[in-house]
Chain A
Amino acid sequence: MKAEVILIDRPDVMQLHDMTAHHLSLFSSAVRAGFPSPAADYDAEPIDLNAYITQNPTATFLARVEGDSMIGAHIEPGDLVVIDRSLKPVSGRIVLAFVAGEFTIKRLMQKPDGAYLEPENPKYQSIKITQPDMGRIWGVVVGVVKKV
């Protein structure tokens, strides 16, 4: 749990590319004198939350969510979504799409009669992509950052 809090409290958390910036050190020895640490030979790299949340920081962007159409997928208003542009948007993945002049997060579903952008909240309706120029997929959602 602690890891999550630290990640979110950092004001520069959006700098996902900076692999060195968000190390959460679970292990460090600060022995100044006396007997050398027996653990020194086993020293490991600290856990990198960037590497955990995305494979490709160069192509990864963050966005802030408004609206409750994806509540079933645990994407809630105020959350930050992590978007990887390098991934192929395949059927079944949650994507950030740009449709009818607006950015929207939905689940992409390829069906025999065409592609759909489906919400995860019964209050909302699916969007059917009827023409290729109706919209585009901006990137694939790979994670959600929440403040608890």
Chain B
Amino acid sequence: MAATTRFALVDCNSFYVSCERVFRPELEGVPVVVLSNNDGCVIARSNEAKALGLKMGTPYFQVKDLVKRERVEVFSSNYELYGDMSRRVVSTLSQFTPNLEVYSIDECFLDLSHLRPEEVGKYGHEIQETVLRWTGIPVSVGVAGTKTLAKVANKLAKKRPHANGVLSLQTAAETEEALRETQIGDVWGIGRQHAKRLQQLNVNTAWDLSKMPDGWVKKNMAVTGLRTLLELRGQPCQDLETETPGKKNICTSRSFGRPLTELKDIKEALSTHTVRCATKLRRQNSCAAGVTVFLMTNRFAVTEHLYCNSRTMQLPQPTSSELELLQRAMHLLKGMFRPGKRYVKVGIILTDLVPASEVQLDLFSSQKEEKHSKLMNTLDTLRQRFGHQALTYAVQGNKKESAVEEENRAPWMLQKKFLSSLYTTSVEGLLQVRA
């Protein structure tokens, strides 16, 4: 495949909010926010909510009054819905090019090298209109010769009112104007520390940065900084990553719905995380040779001593069997648990991953491995068909995470007081319409 010479970054506008609005059109024009797991912080805002001064990452309890006064619509994060809508957006975008990189849940890089320059603007609008019509999700499109410049173009496509959500940087003059308009902290790959340092040197915009000497940037901002510099000048250093490499570590952890003191409750949570994590492991056809479990008390509680511990164990042989992993995880947890503490979070990390096909079977365990692998296959198939809670272990307890009523939920389960329906992934959750 030839290297890409024109990148489009397609970014969904306020993605989580937009997902909610597809099924609640009356929320168009109304301030909407979506909260993080456990209804902790604001993680997505509609433009109207931004205008009210609601900031990303603000704890919900701090803005409760504002929310009530201004009648802001609040949602718990509905990742099942967002995941399905994201998949629909990606699938729509794949109609426009075979070469596409899913960069995050709401962003994709597209290879538009095949277009003639004069076609780009129209094509961008066509992408935008098609995604909106098919999925209901509004997107912005930024097009340029490098990924970093496509990011710049995308930000301005949202900001410039006359751009209508599509901006293509083709000539040197267009690029210069865009770079001058872009604050240094908004450049892709420039973290807060580097931004601060650059501002002290009077490097305030992306344009200023692009004029910095290579040597200085390499010395002070390492190779990744140099890459950003070259990309701002229009020299592509990162091609599309169309195939996502399997992850090296897989982690599943959640804060509890409320602080926990009982080992039994924490075991329920950890075993559920372990099953999730093992499922992810098998989905990428890997086996893990190491298991780490961590457990912590509230970082912010002043009156209590912070207790934060983790234990790691190497396995005799890499495995993807959740039976094996559950046993080890429970063992590690027991070793760390101290009574009398109020715990807020537990998690599991599977490490030292190897492709399942490369696992060397030793003579004595191979029969067990084979048995487990067949069992896991069956479990995966059944869970895919009937939902991930269709088959659980006794240690996970008998409460369902999908339950809405407080009494049907275990104390470790995340709070989701403002959860919308599973409109696209559950028969019970479907949109109700009048006829």
Contact = CB atoms under 8 A, between A and B. Distances in A.
Interface stretch (A31-39, A44-52, A79-87, A108-116): A79-87
B88 interface: yes
A134 B387 CA distance: 39
A91 to B, nearest CB: 18
Interface in A63-109: 63-70, 75, 77, 80-81, 85-86, 96, 98, 101-106
Contacts of A12: 385-387
B134 A102 contact: no
A59 B22 CA distance: 12
A138 to B, nearest CB: 7
B405 interface: no
A59 B25 contact: no
Contacts of B136: 85, 138
B408 to A, nearest CB: 19
A14 to B, nearest CB: 6
Contact of A65 (B134, B425, B433): B433
Given A11-B387, A138-B25, A64 B425 contact: no
A110 B50 CA distance: 40
B368 interface: no
Contacts of A136: 25
Interface in B377-435: 385-387, 423-427, 430-435
Contacts of B423: 61
A96 B22 CA distance: 13
Contacts of A13: 427
Contacts of A103: 431-434
Nearest to B25: A98
A101 B26 CA distance: 6
B92 interface: yes
A139 B213 CA distance: 54
A90 to B, nearest CB: 14
B224 interface: no
A121 B227 CA distance: 66
Nearest to B422: A14
B431 A67 contact: no
A7 interface: no
A11 B386 contact: yes
A56 interface: yes
Contacts of B434: 66-67, 69, 102-105
A66 B425 contact: no
A10 B387 CA distance: 12
B135 interface: yes
A11 B133 CA distance: 28
Chain B interface category by residue count: 20 to 34
Contacts of B25: 98, 136, 138
User: Which of A61, A65, A86, A136: most chain B Cβ within 10 A?
Assistant: A61
Given A86-B133, A98-B25, A63 B425 contact: no
Nearest to A105: B435
Contacts of A105: 433-435
Nearest to A65: B435
A15 B425 CA distance: 6
Given A17-B91, A58-B134, A68 B435 contact: yes
Nearest to A106: B435
A88 to B, nearest CB: 9
B265 to A, nearest CB: 29
B130 to A, nearest CB: 8
Contacts of A70: 435
A142 interface: no
A53 interface: no
Given A56-B134, A86-B133, A98-B25, A69 B435 contact: yes
A106 B433 CA distance: 11
Interface string B326-350: 0000000000000000000000000
B88 A58 contact: yes
B135 A85 contact: yes
Given A63-B433, A75-B435, A14 B427 contact: yes
Nearest to B93: A58
B425 A14 contact: yes
Contacts of B433: 63-66, 81, 96, 103-105
A59 B432 CA distance: 18
Q: Which of B26, B92, B135, B433 has the most CB of A within 10 A?
A: B433
7 contacts: A12-B385, A58-B135, A64-B432, A85-B133, A85-B136, A103-B432, A138-B25
Closest 5 CB pairs of A and B: A59-B134, A103-B433, A63-B431, A70-B435, A105-B435
Interface of A: 10-15, 17, 21, 56, 58-59, 61-70, 75, 77, 80-81, 85-86, 96, 98, 101-106, 136, 138
Given A58-B88, A59-B133, A98-B25, 10 more contacts: A11-B387, A14-B427, A58-B92, A58-B134, A59-B134, A63-B430, A66-B434, A69-B434, A104-B434, A104-B435
